[in-house]
Amino acid sequence: MQGKIKSFKTDSQNSKILAYLQTGASLTCLEAMQMGLTHNLRSRISNLREAGHAIKSVKVPTNSSYIAEYSLEV
């Protein structure tokens, strides 16, 4: 995505998730809930992508299916 990257209020869920991802860590929905970041990580990731942040998702296998793991593209 080109152009200016949108910023968020520093205390918003989006800004907290972005700050966490900027540390180089990855994040799953379960981890986001356990950390108290959000109960709807997919929507927050969508907001961040719409704001111009390059976030990749990888399918991670679990015992019975797959979960998405999100991280910033480098």
Q: Mean pLDDT across the chain, nearest whole number?
A: 90
Res. 27: pLDDT tops 80: yes
Q: How far is the C-alpha of 66 from the C-alpha of 74, rounded, in Å?
A: 23
In a domain, 6, yes or no: no
Decide: 22 and 72 in contact? Cβ < 8 Å: yes
Interval 42-71: pLDDT, tens: 999 999 999 999 999 999 999 999 999 999
CB half-sphere exposure, 49, CA atoms < 13 A:
12
% residues pLDDT > 70 (the chain): 89
In a domain, 56, yes or no: yes
pLDDT at 1: 45
Task: Supply the pTM of this predicted model.
Answer: 0.84
Res. 2: pLDDT tops 90: no
Report CA torsion sign: 27, 71, 51, 12: positive
3-state SS assignment for residue 28: strand
Domain residue limits at 49:
13-72
**Structurally, how many domains does the chain consist of?**
1
Tokens 């296998």 — which residue? 61
